[in-house]
Amino acid sequence: MGDGLQESRNRAQDEVILKGEDVDITRLPMFLHHDRDGHAYTNDNLLVSKDPDTGIYDWGVYRSMFRTKNEKNFDMTCSSHRQRLHALAARAKGQNLQVAVVIGGPLIDKISAMQGVTPDTDDFEVLGGFYGHPAKLVKCETIDVLVPANAEIILEGEIMAMEGWVHDEGPYGEFTGMYGGGIKHNVRYKIHCMTYRKGGIYQHATIGGSHPWYTDNMIQLPAVEADLFNGLKMAGIDVVEVRCDAAGLSNIAYARIRTTGGGDAKQALAVMLTCSKQGLPKIAMVFDDDVDIWDDNRVKWAMAFRYMPDRDTIIIPQCNTMSTDPKIEGDPGKPFYSSRIGFDCTIPLVGNWDRHAFDCSSAVMLGSPPVNVQPMTEAELTADMEAFIKAAPRSWKEIMQKYLGQPYPIIYRAFGNLRHRLGRDGDAPWYRYTFSDHDFAFEPAPEKVSNFDPRHRNP
């Protein structure tokens, strides 16, 4: 066992074990979730199998439809999903694939199972990392597969890979809130053994429906966020945070980054659109670190004024995706793909851009007037303001703060007395007032307007 794994053999004494003809999954609660579903589904399914070539464990969440008391179907049509790849590898060897189905258990197990890792990484090592100690596992009764010792219900059996993807599965109201994929050609799973804890808890998960962003299946949001965050970090992007908006159902993602290189934003989009093993998102947006990506209004504001369609859009064609997207074309039994789009909503680093033009304006707070302010006459305030501006150029805010507590009409009249001798300094973004013989002190004085024609000269 690796450092993240610990095999335990103490669970059997606490279990009900049913084998052979005694297997009957109708002992479990069965639900018709949506009106067009092909049959009853269990959602809280974690499928566990080993790579037939390497023996490395993978587990993941797959929908599962009732077939008979000892048979189920799984949706394994996504070409990048590991359980499908394991089944294909077993078939290439002339074998079916031994698979355990874990129903129920800690929430952290589901989050762990959705983490994007390389194919040579054992998923139970990842689980041990989440726990902070080796994951405790038990060996199945009838197949050579390990499962978490804290599982409530375990089904043991084989995906009948040698039969192929020839069995009906679906439709199903998916996490998208639609019946994506319709009826599919999928695999059959034959159950040899069923074990569960005495007094065990059947864990049910909601999915789809008219408000899919509120269902249990949205546990995938932090999983995709973690994939994107880690992918950006590995790509050398200074990422602050990532958000998958709930209503986007993992297919829309935002990232807040600190740009230092001219190509950081576009590279970040390319990473976001391709790095998650979930085949998501389809739409990505990247923002500067001054944009709160958890504020939908601020996100739309940045899209409105920091994004320009002809310069700030990238499209990547023919990427892997989920088969549940109803926009996918082609034969559902064959490989498929989807295009991806990214929106760069950052301030450009390359080019002659005035970055201050993108600064957020904010309401001014001058604070409370000082105690015991001595009122000044207009003449006194005019003289004092003249000395104040001569000492250094001043913004109107600085002038207002200087004379806070003086009557406003006197402040404005005093400034008006000086206005014709004042110009504006070139200290962007403030453009402070300074004494000048013309309005734009940072520009050459304009030529004086005259109606004299130099051709009209005295002889």
CA distance linking residue 311 with residue 309, whole number of Å: 6
Residues 317 and 235 in one domain: yes
CA distance linking residue 298 with residue 360, whole number of Å: 11
Beta strand 283-288 with 252-258 is: parallel
Residues 382 and 267 in one domain: no
**Does the pLDDT at position 404 exceed 90?**
yes
CA distance linking residue 242 with residue 285, whole number of Å: 10
Average pLDDT over residues 137-157: 95
% the chain with pLDDT above 70? 94
375 is a domain residue: yes
- If phi > 0 it is left, if psi is from -120 to 50 it is alpha, else beta; for residue 401 that is alpha
315 is a domain residue: yes
CATH number for the domain harbouring residue 21: 2.30.110.10
Q: Give the chain's mean pLDDT.
A: 90
Could you give the 3-state DSSP secondary structure of residue 112? helix
Could you give the 3-state DSSP secondary structure of residue 319? strand
Number of domains the chain is built from = 3
User: How distant, in Å, are the alpha carbons of 49, 59, 131, 138, 396 from that of 112?
Assistant: 15, 9, 10, 18, 56
**Does the pLDDT at position 218 exceed 50?**
yes
For residue 170, how many other CB atoms are within 10 A of its CB?
26
pLDDT, residue 169, reads 94
Residues 283 and 342 in one domain: yes
Helix axis angle, 378-391 relative to 408-418, nearest 10°? 60
Report which of 429, 323, 264, 329 is spatially closest to residue 84, judged by C-alpha positions: 323
pTM, two decimals, is 0.78
- Of 356, 380, 403, which closes a domain? 356
CB distance 64 to 207 below 8 Å:
no
Domain limits for position 402 = 363-459
**Does the pLDDT at position 123 exceed 60?**
yes
CB distance 326 to 332 below 8 Å:
no
Q: What is the pLDDT of residues 361-394, one digit of tens each?
A: 888 889 899 998 999 999 999 999 999 999 999 9
pLDDT, residue 333, reads 63
Residues 344 and 378 in one domain: no
- Of 331, 356, 381, which closes a domain? 356
**Does the pLDDT at position 326 exceed 90?**
no
Q: What are phi and psi of 274, to 5 degrees?
A: -135, -10
DSSP 398-435: HHHHHTBTB-HHHHHHHHHHHGGGEEE---TTT--EEE
Among 119-123, 206-210, 386-390, 446-450, which is the least confidently predicted range? 446-450
Residues 43 and 182 in one domain: yes
Number of alpha carbons in the 13 Å side-chain half-sphere of residue 87: 28
20 is a domain residue: yes
CATH number for the domain harbouring residue 437: 1.10.10
296 is a domain residue: yes
- Of 341, 356, 371, which closes a domain? 356
CB distance 51 to 86 below 8 Å:
yes
CB distance 69 to 24 below 8 Å:
yes
Confidence at 2, pLDDT banded by 50, 70, 90: very low
74 is a domain residue: yes
224 is a domain residue: no
Residues 338 and 374 in one domain: no
204 is a domain residue: no
Q: 429 preceded by cis ω (within 30°)?
A: yes
Residues 102 and 136 in one domain: yes
Residues 189 and 318 in one domain: no
222 is a domain residue: no
Q: In degrees to the nearest 10, what's the CA dihedral of 122, 125, 126, 130?
A: 170
pLDDT, residue 455, reads 67
